[in-house]
A and B are shown apart, each in its own frame.
Chain A
């Protein structure tokens, strides 16, 4: 893993390997980001299933429900 440093006073760009501490931090952030994504997907799936179950119970389509609420 590397980082790029742009010195705005000189325009010089350097590529530097991450330190062990930075690598550990990045790996923790990667794991957290993936965990957040999976949680968001699960929440969206749960909401969609609950919505569909309600529509089924009412015996109407999503378009008909939208019409009722408009």
Chain B
């Protein structure tokens, strides 16, 4: 088990080093910072001096090591477009994205498990058929079209919910939250549904297949023979064993929720890091792109690692075999 953990941690570090390298090469290959900083009337001496100051005359490996050191401290320099510290901009935008991701993750998990159980237990009911068909359509619809559709129905036609922005937010010093105001909560509804819908259908389908598999097992039949109530069989015996793979997939989906937030945030003009990133791509704002890449890869790698270790803790079979995929 220890060997497994060490291998996973080493793999995570490798991923971070590679993404760090990608981020670093974006700085080196896309545009020359010296060209940007010095005006038209420059001498070769000026260029050399600035290169020395910025450390650009150092060997590649030294520059890379320096970049990693700076990145680890959260220092990515100034945004080309806004002229402010990239880390400050990110810190200001992050709460919006995390709140959105949190709510849609909750929605995806709750809705996914709920509908999954429902469609697994009442396999031939009308409601399950309707839900299954809708989920097929939901998977085929691109995220941004779902967002536009929701805006059209609930903002344009019905006028119930706002179509853009975060509403009023409460400033807690280091964190801004939209949870505490009515307009903030209202603004959250449509983006959260848009972002969570795809993950919800994924989780729902997973729970459904797993649950149907488990319900066929002998111990469930035995529980029925013992005369236990249907509800107790479904929830105490079957659901518990269904949840192991669900936790893994959900954990991994958390990462893609943050990535797909880029699309949702653009549709709803939600002031989070995703919108910041897409604007950075449009205007080729390299420091912001690099910082976002590093931030999101730390998140992804961390989530993957935690999920893997969690899997180990939950499923005792893995500890005995010492290998993943025990069944």
Is chain B a partner of chain A in the same complex?
A: no
